[in-house]
Amino acid sequence: MERQTILEEASAYVTGGGLATDLARLVAHRSVSQSEGRPEDLLAYLEAEMQPMLAAIGFSCAIFDNPRPGGAPLLIGTRMENEMLPTVLIYGHGDVCNGEAHRWREGLEPFVLTVEGDRLFGRGTADNKIQHLINIKALQQVIRAKGHLGFNAKIIIEMAEETGSFGLREFFETKKQALSADVLIASDGPRLAVDTPTMFMGSRGGLSFDLVVNLRDGDHHSGNFGGLLADPVILLSHAIACIVDRRGQIQIPEWRPTSLTPEIRAALKDLPPRRHDADWGEVELTPSERVFGWNSLAVLAISAGNIEAPQNAISGSARATCQLRFVVGTDMAEILPALRRHLDAHGYPMVEVRASKGEPFKATRFSPDHPWVRFVEQSIARTCGKAPHVLPNLAGSLPNDAFTDILGLPTIWIPHSHAECGQHGPNEHALVPIAEEGMRIMTALFLDIAENAQRLK
């Protein structure tokens, strides 16, 4: 079958409703790995959806227990056509964030796919169910058209990415041979611009922690004790204000990276800007440098008293859950010790620093000059008629270090989502035009790998 015909059929899978049908079934699985989730739902996603979908296109599959107690299961699918051919490893995660149904707008439900024009709403429509679905279906397009792939493929589906890929690294250590490959080609995260494909070769790291001010048991009347008892909320607010200034600029020296080199700045120079506030972030940096080349702190949640029914009382304690997104050049092991030293130096010994229960993500970057990177870039440009945006790393966090550090692979990510998709929040959605182009990109890329298999090995 001619290349153009294969790509037209790949597009028709999206425009003809096939993708929406399959995605609706995947979204209906309440495969939440966070507090709303149930372990049986995580396993069901692998058993009822991924295993039969991959087996139908010639993959042998096995589901494994997580090596860490309480961890979520993982699936490895393998299709080996010839040991002399290159092997592509593909990754996806079937777990999603909490549904938080009460926060979705009227007419939408997190675990029911809703189609509105070119938008597909539902939890996992952007992160990450649609992304690994597209890649699996692109493999299927090639196999159905040619009778074979023309290279070897392996796929790993985990069910704990939204909790830091709990146990994934230990699993990789024990399954190095089963996961051995020549390259990782996977999809997660958003495009930089809706109308232009994106590639990235790494990700910012992510580390969450709690700041806790616990002064006393119980609350005390704000009239009888106001001016006598310290307010933990005020102390916590000032502690946060000494970590970042009013622009969000980081004040801890060890948290300010040294890796924004002239080469990285040049790579980020011509990228279109993301939506941003002009008076927020590092003053001397461009928007692209702030999000792809620098560190940022976010206060994810803050708690004291009862905001729905405030009482005339001074709280006994206050807590903030914070997160540092950090780039290569930041010593991950020093993040929390540096924070402790900084708080003590600024007079906040009463602020306790607690590491998060979730796994931290390590920051990674991979050279854009690697032959596999250039090959993928050229394939995408050929298919789309325009060059993709090539980023040194994603602004978000991924378990990319498991592939680079443990498996020793070049890593290439091709996202099929967009920055305004609502992932991790209410009204998560995918865009049909991106999904259609993603099907064409991945199908064409797999065809190109098969055509050039001998020189890629």
Predicted pLDDT at 1: 66
Which residues of the chain are modeled with pLDDT < 50?
Answer: none
**Domain segments of the chain as ranges:** 3-203+364-456, 217-355
Predicted pLDDT at 273: 78
Please name the fold of domain 217-355.
Alpha-Beta Plaits (3.30.70)
Q: How far apart are CA 175 and CA 286, in angstroms?
A: 42
Residues 6+ apart with CB under 8 A from 216: 229, 316, 317
Q: Residues 208, 356: contact at Cβ < 8 Å?
A: yes
Cis? peptide before 128, omega within 30° of 0: yes
Q: How far apart are CA 42 and CA 37, in angstroms?
A: 8
Fold match, 3-203+364-456 / 217-355? no
What count of Cα atoms within 13 Å lies in the side-chain half-sphere of residue 390? 20
Question: What Cα–Cα distance (Å) separates residue 99 from each residue in 95, 112, 303, 396?
Answer: 11, 11, 21, 20
Q: Residues 294, 257: contact at Cβ < 8 Å?
A: yes
Task: Tell me which residue of 165, 67, 70 sits closest to 397, measured CA to CA.
Answer: 165
Q: Residues 427, 110: contact at Cβ < 8 Å?
A: no
Q: Residues 113, 122: contact at Cβ < 8 Å?
A: yes
N-to-C CA span, the chain? 25
Secondary structure (3-state) at 99 = coil
Task: Tell me which residue of 323, 295, 299 sits closest to 209, measured CA to CA.
Answer: 323
Please name the fold of domain 3-203+364-456.
Aminopeptidase (3.40.630)
Q: In this predicted model, what pLDDT tens digit does every residue of 43-99 receive, in sequence order?
A: 999 999 999 999 999 999 999 999 999 999 999 999 999 999 999 999 999 999 999
Q: What pTM was computed for the model? A: 0.90
Q: Residues 273, 395: contact at Cβ < 8 Å?
A: no
Task: Tell me which residue of 107, 91, 271, 85 sits closest to 168, measured CA to CA.
Answer: 91
Strands (E), 42-150: 60-64, 74-79, 87-93, 114-116, 119-121
